[in-house]
Amino acid sequence: MSTTDKELRVGMVGYAFMGAAHSQAWRTVNRVYDLPARARMVLVCGRDSGKVAEAADRLGWEEHTTDWRELVARPDIDVVDICTPGDSHAEIALAALAAGKHVLCEKPLANTVAEAREMAAAAATAQAGGARSMCGFNYRRVPAVALMRQLVAAGRLGEIRHVRASYLQDWIVDPQFPLVWRLRKEVSGSGALGDIGAHIIDLTQYVTGQQITGVSAVTETFVKERPLPSESSGLAAQADGGSAATGPVTVDDAAVFVARLGGGALATYEATRFATGRKNALRVEINGSLGTVAFDLERLNELEYYDATRPVAEQGFSRILVTESEHPYLSAWWPPGHIIGYEHSFTHQMRDFIEAVATGVDPSPSFAEALQVQLVLDAVVRSAELGSSWTDVEPALATVAA
């Protein structure tokens, strides 16, 4: 599918947390980067007519609707951006791909391997007709993470031996926090594992260039029942104070697993929403035979780098301030030393997506890559259910071909 007068007309489904982040990126990307096509924010969709109308005005969309099927069917929509809970990803994406639309879908790709496999197969079929698709793992687009990948790919760390990754939050520590959709398996698919664990799975595989081949896992749900929510259902939701009713939490609160990567590295992963005091603490460290590199999201513009090839008297961890125009994505932003933030990762994501679609290149991470992450999530769940037994991860490409 070609662009119209070098314009990509975007329709977005969902307008809450991720919808706001994506909207900011769509608004900004062409004002920062010189791209082969311009994004036009045509239509936003949500279930509540009043709220979606307000969101359209606030976020910068031309029109609004309460019917995602209308959005997908409209001939003046080129791109469908899916920012809904996981239980609707597959249905919307499959319809959009069948309609010849380009699709950007938030992570994790789906709630089940079966859904993810169907989506990856549909994306491969749609690709033949020119429709492109990508899964939104935005942390790939943090400049320090992209630089981290470059260092590994250039052999600066030598043979990769250890990977350790953690993503720690605390927003549901209070047992009175309500039973929002992220705590219900039928809507979210899984808990901390899929919500934030998917990020560190994708990020470490992206940085190292190696896929996870097997896992041994344990998961835990610390609070088994929670108050039913009031009308608000976001990260700052409140319990319904007029009701004593509760419901079961049907997802994990925390997941911990060890893994083996395809190149032989040993890896450890921890994803939890019960790390009291930790708000959005993502950290990845890679140890190799020639050095170490580490990234901390709370120090988003920095890398820690240890070069073991230097003379012993000069060795030690150095701080790389990732703000130079030579660093990934940063040539269009501010002078050196002027830091960027979380929202910029989404702007960079839209930049890469627009460039790929406009030039007929397959963007990354593809639905096939996102399926591979889904297969890791599934292996973690199965391992935990089997008493932490070692569980192999099925290769994603084989499942797509099948």
Measuring CA to CA, which residue among 164, 89, 24, 113 is closest to residue 373?
113
Q: Is residue 353 a contact partner of residue 106, using CB atoms and an 8 Å limit?
A: no
Stretch 385-394: mean pLDDT? 98
Rounded-to-integer distance, Cα 206 and Cα 145, Å = 9
| Paired strand residues for 286 | 163, 293
CATH number of the domain at 57, please.
3.40.50.720
25-54 per-position pLDDT tens digit: 999 999 999 999 999 999 999 999 999 999
Q: How many domains would you assign to the chain?
A: 2
Which residues lie below 8 Å from residue 125, measured CB to CB, with a gap of 6+?
97
Rounded-to-integer distance, Cα 43 and Cα 71, Å = 7
Residue 217 sits in the same domain as residue 275: yes
Rounded-to-integer distance, Cα 184 and Cα 250, Å = 5
Rounded to 10 degrees, the C-alpha dihedral 360/365/370/372 comes to 110
Tally Cβ neighbours within 10 Å of residue 285: 17
pLDDT interval class at 234 (50, 70, 90): low
CA separation, residue 96 to residues 69, 70, 88 (Å): 9, 11, 12
63-112 per-position pLDDT tens digit: 999 999 999 999 999 999 999 999 999 999 999 999 999 999 999 999 99
Instruction: Specify the pLDDT at position 2.
Output: 43
Final residue of a domain: which of 325, 340, 355? 340
- 347 domain-assigned: no
| Mean pLDDT for the chain overall | 95
- 397 domain-assigned: no
Reduced to 3 states (helix: H, G, I; strand: E, B; else coil), residue 230 is coil
| Paired strand residues for 60 | none
Instruction: Specify the pLDDT at position 134.
Output: 98
pTM, two decimals, is 0.94
Residue 224 sits in the same domain as residue 119: no
Residue with tokens 């089940």: 112
For CA atoms 202, 207, 209, 210, the dihedral sign is negative
Q: Among 100-114, 139-153, 234-248, whose mean pLDDT is lowest?
A: 234-248
Final residue of a domain: which of 109, 138, 167? 138
Q: Which domain holds residue 233?
A: 143-299+301-340
Rounded-to-integer distance, Cα 89 and Cα 115, Å = 9
- 294 domain-assigned: yes
Measuring CA to CA, which residue among 103, 151, 153, 158 is closest to residue 125?
103
Q: Is residue 79 a contact partner of residue 11, using CB atoms and an 8 Å limit?
A: yes
Rounded-to-integer distance, Cα 330 and Cα 339, Å = 10
- 274 domain-assigned: yes
- 68 domain-assigned: yes
Whether pLDDT at 4 is above 80? no
Which residues lie below 8 Å from residue 331, measured CB to CB, with a gap of 6+?
325
Stretch 224-228: mean pLDDT? 97
Rounded-to-integer distance, Cα 191 and Cα 221, Å = 9
260-280 per-position pLDDT tens digit: 999 999 999 999 999 999 999
Tally Cβ neighbours within 10 Å of residue 37: 20
Measuring CA to CA, which residue among 194, 211, 205, 210 is closest to residue 140?
205
Instruction: Specify the pLDDT at position 115.
Output: 98
Rounded-to-integer distance, Cα 132 and Cα 216, Å = 35
291-343 per-position pLDDT tens digit: 999 999 999 999 999 999 999 999 999 999 999 999 999 999 999 999 999 99
Residue 233 sits in the same domain as residue 109: no
Residue 42 sits in the same domain as residue 112: yes
Whether pLDDT at 398 is above 60? no
Residue 109 sits in the same domain as residue 228: no
Rounded-to-integer distance, Cα 284 and Cα 385, Å = 26
Q: Among 25-39, 155-169, 226-240, whose mean pLDDT is lowest?
A: 226-240
Rounded-to-integer distance, Cα 172 and Cα 168, Å = 12
Residue 188 sits in the same domain as residue 310: yes
- 368 domain-assigned: no
pLDDT interval class at 23 (50, 70, 90): very high
Q: What is the CA radius of gyration of the chain?
A: 21
Residue with tokens 């469908």: 80
